[in-house]
Amino acid sequence: MRDLLHPHRDPSEVLSAFVAPAQERGGDRPRVRINMVASVDGATAVDGESRGLSGDADRAVFHRLRAEADVVMAGAATVRADRYGPAKADDAVRAARAARGQTPVPAVVVLTRGGDLPWEAPLFTAADPATVVAHPEDVTLPPAAADASAVRFVGVGRGSVDVAALLAVLGAEGVAQVLCEGGPGLIAQVAAAGCLDEAFVTVSPRLVSGDASRMMRGPELHPSLRLRLAGLVEDDGFLFARYHVEAP
C-alpha cells in the first residue's frame, strides 16, 4: 500500500494513517463518514452487489474503517443485496476498541420503511451489540420482526426515518463516530441533511457500464458540497481517496 500524498511513509503505517479519525468533531451530532467503492466508470454494483468491485486492499480499508467506528449504518437494500452479518473484529481490534471505551465490534444500524428484512439471519438474531433497526414511527413492521432476538428498534420520523433525527438519537446514546456504508440512496439523504463529514471513496480498476447507481442517488444538492482531499493511497491498482467535507 503506497501513500501517494506522503510517499516516504512506511508502508506498514499507511493504512492506519489513512483511516485515523479527524480531530474535529461533528458538533452536536456524531461525525459521519461514508465508505463507498465504484468502478472507474462510476458503477457502485456489479450484478446488484458491491463485492464484484472489491479486492484485498479494499476489504482491508473496509475493515479498518469499521474498526474505528462506533456504529455502522446502512440502508435495508444494501443489507439485503450485500447480505450483511454482524460486524467482526480480531482480538487486536477488540482490545484497541476496549481501550477507547468502544463496544468490541460496532453495532449495525439498518434503516427500513417496510421492514422487508431477513429477520432470521444472524444480523438480527445473533448480533452483539444488538442490531439497531431504525424505522418510521408510523409503520407497523412485519410479524417476523418480533422474533428477531438481537434487535433494538428505534422509531424516528414519520413516513421515512429522519436521518438527522436518527443521528441525534445515536449521539444522545454516546455514539461519536458513524460509518455509513450506503447505499447510494441513504448517502444522498445523509448529505442532503448536512450530516456528512468525510467521504472515503475507492476507485476499483474496472469498467462496468450497465445502469448501476452512482455513489449518491437523490435530488441534486444546492449548493453542491465542496471536498478537500485529505488522503490518497494506491494498492494493486485500487485508488483510495479520503475527502473532508468543507463547511458551506
Residue nearest to ligand NAP (CB): 183
Nearer to ligand NAP, 203 or 245 (CB): 203
Q: Establish if 186 lies at the interface with ligand NAP (CB under 6 A).
A: yes
- In one-letter notation, the amino acid at residue 90 is D
When binding is defined by CB under 6 A, the residue of 3, 68, 70, 181 that contacts ligand NAP is 181
Is residue 206 within the footprint of ligand NAP (CB under 6 A)?
Answer: no
To the nearest 10°, report the CA torsion of 153, 156, 157, 159.
Answer: -10
Find, among 243, 168, 245, 151, the residue nearest to 203 by Cα: 243
Under 8 Å CB-to-CB from 29, ≥6 apart: which residues?
164, 167, 168, 171, 195
Cβ 9 to ligand NAP shortest distance, Å: 25
What character string, x for contact with ligand NAP (CB under 6 A) and - otherwise, covers 54-83? --------------------xxxxx--xx-
Using rule CB under 6 A, residue 50 touches ligand NAP: yes
**Which listed residue (185, 206, 227, 234) binds ligand NAP by CB under 6 A?**
185
Counting residues that bind ligand NAP (by CB under 6 A) gives 33
Least distance in angstroms from the C-beta of 161 to ligand NAP: 3
Q: Pattern 20-49, binding to ligand NAP, x per CB under 6 A?
A: ----------------xxx-----xx--xx
Tell me how far apart the alpha carbons of residues 80 and 118 are, in angstroms, rounded to a whole number: 7
Among residues 75, 78, 60, 29, which one has the least CA distance to residue 178?
Answer: 29
- How far, in Å, CA of 241 to CA of 133, rounded? 30
β-pairing verdict for 131-135 and 151-155: parallel
Give the DSSP H or E segment for 68: helix 56-68
Give the binding site for ligand NAP (CB under 6 A): 36-38, 44-45, 48-50, 53, 74-78, 81-82, 111-114, 116, 160-161, 163, 181-186, 189, 213, 217
